């Protein structure tokens, strides 16, 4: 049972344009949502997080939006750069637990 879903396995975007990565979840008991970025042969690196009490969090070129009624979150990258090419995982943390539940990832390719 996949509680966190990333339905798009890949996304291709032109440099300078906006990249939108989507994530859906089924458990309403998540209190934190996070995005991680992963390059080949490296571990995931934390990008940005959002608490369930907020609907938007922004950090430089990265903005995460949370729509609790739709159980949906998205990561916007503006403007996209070739160095953003990587696999992006969304993750959610259930309330009062110490674990993260990850989605299956979306491979983003930013081309010149």
Is 84 strand, coil or helix? helix
∠ at Cα 107 (50, 61), nearest 5°?
A: 45
The verdict on 11 binding another protein (CB under 8 A) reads no
Interface residue with another protein, options 84, 85, 103, 110 (CB under 8 A)? 103
- Binding to another protein (CB under 8 A) within 14-33 occurs at 32
E strands along 1-112, which residues?
4-5, 10-14, 19-25, 30-38, 45-51, 56-59, 62-67, 72-77, 86-94, 101-102, 106-111
Cα–Cα distance measured from residue 33 to residue 71, given in angstroms and rounded to the nearest whole number = 11
Q: Which is nearer to another protein, 60 or 99 (CB)?
A: 99
Q: Which is nearer to another protein, 13 or 34 (CB)?
A: 34
Given a contact cutoff of 8 angstroms between Cβ atoms, the answer to whether 72 and 92 are in contact is no
The verdict on 53 binding another protein (CB under 8 A) reads no
- Binding to another protein (CB under 8 A) within 76-95 occurs at 89, 91, 93, 95
Q: Which is nearer to another protein, 18 or 55 (CB)?
A: 55
Q: Which residues bind another protein (CB under 8 A)?
A: 6, 32, 34, 36, 41-46, 49, 51, 89, 91, 93, 95-105
């Amino acid at each position: 049972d996949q509680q966190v879903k990333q339905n798009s396995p890949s996304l291709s975007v032109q440099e300078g344009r906006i990249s939108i990565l989507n994530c859906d979840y089924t458990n309403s008991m998540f209190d934190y949502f996070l995005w991680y970025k992963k390059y080949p042969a490296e571990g995931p690196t934390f990008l940005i997080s959002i608490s369930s009490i907020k609907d938007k969090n922004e950090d430089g070129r990265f903005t995460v939006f949370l729509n609790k009624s739709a159980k949906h979150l998205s990561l916007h990258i503006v403007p996209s750069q070739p160095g953003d090419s990587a696999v992006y995982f969304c993750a959610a943390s259930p309330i009062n637990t110490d674990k993260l539940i990850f989605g299956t990832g979306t491979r983003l390719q930013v081309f010149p």
